[in-house]
Structures are given as structure tokens and as C-alpha cells.
Amino acid sequence: MDNFSINTDSIEHIAKVAYSKLKNIKDVKSLVKYKKEFLGDNSQLTKFSRQMRYVPDAKKPELGKLLSQTKKSIEQNYSQKYIELEKKEEKLNQQHINKYSKSSDK
């Protein structure tokens, strides 16, 4: 079992770190790394999901719900950021194409 024990504070900490890191991502390549870090097979959230069987029955509903909400929120934020970055990259590519097509017309 992981040294990082599953509790409300640790889940909320992961959510805060994920949100903070996401704000600073500027390209799709970094976003893919982010997804692996926070949603991948070796992410802390996935490890917490595996640890749920060791959580006392009285705490399972609360922690399970928070874990699920956190994961869903990170997934939604990831998807929104991906769309945003894709649009930005598409716009830059179009500007690049337009720039070079105008210069070749001369």
C-alpha cells in the first residue's frame, strides 16, 4: 500500500495541485503529461481508488464520492483545456499558412 494515505485532505490537495498545474499548461504535449500524472494508471487518484477496499465502511461513501467528484472535475478541466489548446494551435497553424501563402504570392 502507498505511503500517501487516503483521506479528505489528501484528495483535496491533489485537486488543488491539479488545478494549479493545469493553469500553467501552454501546449498539448504538456497537457498529455498532465493527464498521465493526474489520471493515469500510476496517478495518486488511481492509487487511492485501489486503496478504497482498506477504508473503513463508515468512511467509504464520503471518500468514494469525493474521489469520484475530484476525478470527474480533473477530467472535465483536462477536456476543456485540450479544446482550448487545440483551437490555439489551429489558429497559429492557420496564421502560419496565411503568412507563407501571402509571401509566395509576391
What pLDDT is attached to residue 1? 38
Mean pLDDT value of segment 30-36 = 96
Report yes or no: 74 and 13 within 8 Å, Cβ to Cβ: no
The mean pLDDT value of the chain amounts to: 89
Each residue of 41-58: pLDDT tens digit? 999 999 999 999 999 999
**CB within 8 A of 23, min separation 6: which ones?**
none
Report yes or no: 64 and 52 within 8 Å, Cβ to Cβ: yes
Cell numbers describing residue 45: 487518484
Q: Which pTM does this prediction carry?
A: 0.80
pLDDT bin (cut points 50, 70, 90) of residue 2 is: very low
Degrees, nearest 5: CA angle 73-74-76? 65
**CB within 8 A of 85, min separation 6: which ones?**
25, 26, 27, 28, 31
Q: Could you tell me the CA-to-CA distances from 33 to 3, 15, 30, 52 in Å, in that order?
A: 23, 16, 5, 25
